[in-house]
Amino acid sequence: MSTLLIVVPASWAEPCKAALAEVAPHLRVLLHDSDAYRAQEIDYVLTFRPPERLLKSLPNLRVVFSLGAGVDGILADPNYPVHIPLVRFVDRTLSREMAQYCVMHVLMHYRMQRFFDRAQAEHAWRQVLLPKSAEDMRVGILGLGEIGTLTAQRLRDLDFDVGGWSRMRRQEPGVQSFAGDGELGAFLARTDILICLLPLTPETRGILSESLFAQLPNGAFVINVARGGHLVDADLVAAIDCGHLSGATLDVFHIEPLPEDHPFWTHPKITVTPHVAAISETRIAAQYVANGIARFERGDPLANLVDLRRRY
Amino acid sequence: MSTLLIVVPASWAEPCKAALAEVAPHLRVLLHDSDAYRAQEIDYVLTFRPPERLLKSLPNLRVVFSLGAGVDGILADPNYPVHIPLVRFVDRTLSREMAQYCVMHVLMHYRMQRFFDRAQAEHAWRQVLLPKSAEDMRVGILGLGEIGTLTAQRLRDLDFDVGGWSRMRRQEPGVQSFAGDGELGAFLARTDILICLLPLTPETRGILSESLFAQLPNGAFVINVARGGHLVDADLVAAIDCGHLSGATLDVFHIEPLPEDHPFWTHPKITVTPHVAAISETRIAAQYVANGIARFERGDPLANLVDLRRRY
């Protein structure tokens, strides 16, 4: 019998354990925070942001499963044991929730919903035409992986002019692909609404900064649904306040929960949501982990392995 | 040379005339409000809500073109000359703008955006899971014509459980079709988010009433983007205030602009927008009318003719 150690906050750990008991009755499941265990007992770990050195201390660890789509919280441990395979959480529900969130906030910006919200607050009938047609509204997706591609498809189907940037060129009908550092400038220059869906790595940390914003056209709007670490908070506020950017929607922050006195909460052109664009469901994650372990123990290759050199 | 009379408010009339001068230089275009003309000169009329008896007074009138997708404003004239063909404005841009609006407001309800807006106003981090998955959120479209069908497709592609009601049964993959009065109850009973896209006719006036709301499941949400005349305002407020409905988004009203003291403006569970879901563009409407006149004068059948018995 193999043993999985769950290393996530208590509110997630108990439901994960209960879900695993249903879908993988032969798996022994322990909770890092509340169960006693010996390091050598652990075969697998399910985690999001493990304590530093914990993973390295498990001598018989075979696979690490991430509870989130991003693995930056796991690789934040400088002692991550690089010989142990790390599996990202890739799930259709997670991807489409993220795509829904992006579609909604692109539409809210394009269709001026905040302008109409203010008008309603003032009991004012302010009928205006949309400033441009959807074909002329250029949405740019920074990070064209599973989630970025699904988001691009949905926005394309709503008639937006969609482009995407990724390290390698992607082939997606109706989506203009920009690849590598050499094409980032051209991608930004044609982007009216920028959606950040990048993995957080040393290369992408702080990418949403003054110098990137300066390459967007005047009036551009920014949506960050990736990680707070992608954004230089002060640069965003400065770019909005000087009138270069028209606003932003942010779901992720350097510190979460976002501190009560952070200027984002009250900025009239910034929408804040509490990291809800896509939340891993414990039931689905449990099934995902159970399937992964079953494949691994049959000797089949693991899907969605992280490239530890690239860190995503 | 044939003559078109434009009978719309001045802010629309001048841009329509200018656009027609470009696309139909051989057409003589007169404005009802400002040009002198004799009744027998007029071959065609472009209008939205003509003065009563005006159309009847034009002895050589051949076709009436509606500037809006709905023709209730034109048929409100009890003296409409029933032997004159009436053409609805059907346009891809108009349909997809309406679909976008519906997608945005379905997502805002499903994804609890107003809850997060209030949390932001209070600087409160209130992370919650979506109450159900998109497949379990049943959207129901009342009126499955061109616009309703496009809206259904877009919502289906975002994984909602979509049904539609229409007089005749429709075949649209992934959209459950309900047809006729006999199936209205079953349609309402499975609808968590109701979108009204019906034409306004004597049969549909006031359809969004206490008795219809009572057939929706508890907690249902209502979106009206058709006509204010479909809704019994007091019944909606009562159904929300007693807790049966969870809220509404309204783009159309009995009186527009919505009077400043109307209770909709301040209701915490009602979003008001100023009839902006889809606005006919004069440039596109001018091209549509020019094409229609050209077809008619070549002897080709007119597209999008209104059935004057059904009134849509």
The 3 state secondary structure assigned to chain B is CCEEEEECCHHHHHHHHHHHHHHCCCCEEEECCCCCCCHHHCCEEEECCCCCCCHHHCCCCCEEEECCCCCHHHHCCCCCCCCCCEECCCCHHHHHHHHHHHHHHHHHHHCCHHHHHHHHHCCCCCCCCCCCCHHHCEEEEECCCHHHHHHHHHHHHCCCEEEEEECCCCCECCEEEEECHHHHHHHHHCCCEEEECCCCCCCCCCCECHHHHHHCCCCEEEEECCCHHHECHHHHHHHHHCCCEEEEEECCCCCCCCCCCCHHHHCCCEEECCCCCCCCCHHHHHHHHHHHHHHHHHCCCCCCECCCCCCC
What tokens appear for B202 in the block?
């004597």
Which residue of chain B is at minimal alpha-carbon distance from A266? B121
Percent share of chain A, pLDDT over 90: 96
pLDDT for res A279: 87
Taking the C-alpha atoms of residue B103 and residue A166, their distance in angstroms, rounded to an integer, is: 28
What tokens appear for B40 in the block?
């027998």
The residue-averaged pLDDT of A126-142 equals: 95
Q: Quick one: which of A308, A309, A303, A10 has its CA closest to A146?
A: A303
A9 shares contact with chain B (CB less than 8 Å): no
A123 Cα to chain B: minimum distance (Å): 6
B115 shares contact with chain A (CB less than 8 Å): no
- Enumerate the β-bridge partners of residue A196: A142, A224
A228 Cα to chain B: minimum distance (Å): 15
Question: Letter for the amino acid at B234?
Answer: A
Summarised one tens digit per residue, pLDDT across range B46-56 is 999 999 999 99
Taking the C-alpha atoms of residue B312 and residue A187, their distance in angstroms, rounded to an integer, is: 46
Taking the C-alpha atoms of residue A19 and residue A13, their distance in angstroms, rounded to an integer, is: 10
Taking the C-alpha atoms of residue B290 and residue B283, their distance in angstroms, rounded to an integer, is: 11
Summarised one tens digit per residue, pLDDT across range B73-97 is 999 999 999 999 999 999 999 999 9
A131 shares contact with chain B (CB less than 8 Å): no
- Enumerate the β-bridge partners of residue B171: none
pLDDT for res A280: 84
* pLDDT of B64 higher than 90: yes
Taking the C-alpha atoms of residue B207 and residue B213, their distance in angstroms, rounded to an integer, is: 9
A127 Cα to chain B: minimum distance (Å): 5
The residue-averaged pLDDT of A266-281 equals: 95
Question: What length does chain A have?
Answer: 312
Chain B residues close to A257, C-beta within 8 Å: 125, 127
Question: Do A120 and B256 count as a contact with CB atoms less than 8 A apart?
Answer: no
Summarised one tens digit per residue, pLDDT across range B5-30 is 999 988 889 999 999 999 999 999 99
Question: Letter for the amino acid at A16?
Answer: C
Question: B10: buried, middle or exposed (CB in 10 Å: 19+, 13-18, 0-12)?
Answer: exposed
The three state secondary structure string of chain A is CCEEEEECCHHHHHHHHHHHHHHCCCCEEEECCCCCCCHHHCCEEEECCCCCCCHHHCCCCCEEEECCCCCHHHHCCCCCCCCCCEECCCCHHHHHHHHHHHHHHHHHHHCCHHHHHHHHHCCCCCCCCCCCCHHHCEEEEECCCHHHHHHHHHHHHCCCEEEEEECCCCCECCEEEEECHHHHHHHHHCCCEEEECCCCCCCCCCCECHHHHHHCCCCEEEEECCCHHHECHHHHHHHHHCCCEEEEEECCCCCCCCCCCCHHHHCCCEEECCCCCCCCCHHHHHHHHHHHHHHHHHCCCCCCECCCCCCC
The residue-averaged pLDDT of A263-281 equals: 96
User: Nearest Cβ partner of A154 from B123, B133, B158?
Assistant: B158
Which residue of chain B is at minimal alpha-carbon distance from A255? B125
* pLDDT of A281 higher than 90: no
A20 Cα to chain B: minimum distance (Å): 20
Chain A residues close to B104, C-beta within 8 Å: 104, 107-108, 111, 113
Question: Letter for the amino acid at B49?
Answer: R
User: Nearest Cβ partner of B279 from A100, A125, A129?
Assistant: A129
pLDDT for res B202: 95
Which has more confidence, B25 or A280?
Answer: B25
Question: Do B108 and A108 count as a contact with CB atoms less than 8 A apart?
Answer: yes
Give residue A10's pLDDT band: very low, low, confident or very high (50, 70, 90).
Answer: confident
User: Nearest Cβ partner of B127 from A107, A130, A276?
Assistant: A276
- Distance set, CA A34 to CA A13, A112, B92 (Å): 10, 49, 59
pLDDT for res B11: 86
B279 Cα to chain A: minimum distance (Å): 7
- Distance set, CA A180 to CA A166, A169, A170, A306 (Å): 6, 8, 11, 19
B260 Cα to chain A: minimum distance (Å): 6
Question: Do A158 and B113 count as a contact with CB atoms less than 8 A apart?
Answer: no
Taking the C-alpha atoms of residue A134 and residue A216, their distance in angstroms, rounded to an integer, is: 18
Chain B residues close to A117, C-beta within 8 Å: 117, 271
Give residue A48's pLDDT band: very low, low, confident or very high (50, 70, 90).
Answer: very high
Q: Which of A150, A158, A260, A269 to mutate to test the interface with B (most CBs of B within 10 A)?
A: A158
- Taking the alpha carbons of B38, B43, B49, B51 in that order, is the dihedral positive or negative? positive
Taking the C-alpha atoms of residue A196 and residue B35, their distance in angstroms, rounded to an integer, is: 55
pLDDT for res A293: 97
Taking the C-alpha atoms of residue A135 and residue A132, their distance in angstroms, rounded to an integer, is: 8
B101 shares contact with chain A (CB less than 8 Å): yes
User: Nearest Cβ partner of B113 from A99, A104, A128?
Assistant: A104
pLDDT for res B215: 98
The answer for residues whose C-beta is within 8 angstroms of residue B132's C-beta and 6 or more apart is: none
pLDDT for res B56: 97
* pLDDT of B143 higher than 90: yes
Per the CB < 8 A criterion, the answer to whether A3 and A42 are in contact is yes
The residue-averaged pLDDT of B192-213 equals: 97
pLDDT for res A11: 86
* pLDDT of B277 higher than 90: yes
Query: Residue A10: what are its φ and ψ, rounded to 5°?
Result: -55, -35
Q: Quick one: which of A130, A201, A197, A207 has its CA closest to A170?
A: A197
Which residue of chain A is at minimal alpha-carbon distance from B106? A104
Cβ under 8 Å to A: B residues 207-226: none
Query: Could you give the residue numbers annotated as active site of A?
Result: 227, 275
The residue-averaged pLDDT of B181-210 equals: 98
The residue-averaged pLDDT of B36-45 equals: 97
The pTM (predicted TM-score) of the whole model is 0.95
Q: Quick one: which of B113, B174, B49 has its CA closest to A109?
A: B113
Find tokens 């390459």 and name the residue: A215
Query: Could you give the residue numbers annotated as active site of B?
Result: 227, 275
Taking the C-alpha atoms of residue B296 and residue A105, their distance in angstroms, rounded to an integer, is: 44
Question: Letter for the amino acid at B35?
Answer: D
B93 shares contact with chain A (CB less than 8 Å): yes
Question: Do A119 and B258 count as a contact with CB atoms less than 8 A apart?
Answer: no
Find tokens 């989506």 and name the residue: A175
What tokens appear for A283 in the block?
């039931």
Per the CB < 8 A criterion, the answer to whether B208 and B231 are in contact is yes
Question: Do A127 and B271 count as a contact with CB atoms less than 8 A apart?
Answer: no
Per the CB < 8 A criterion, the answer to whether A71 and A86 are in contact is yes
Taking the C-alpha atoms of residue B130 and residue B132, their distance in angstroms, rounded to an integer, is: 6
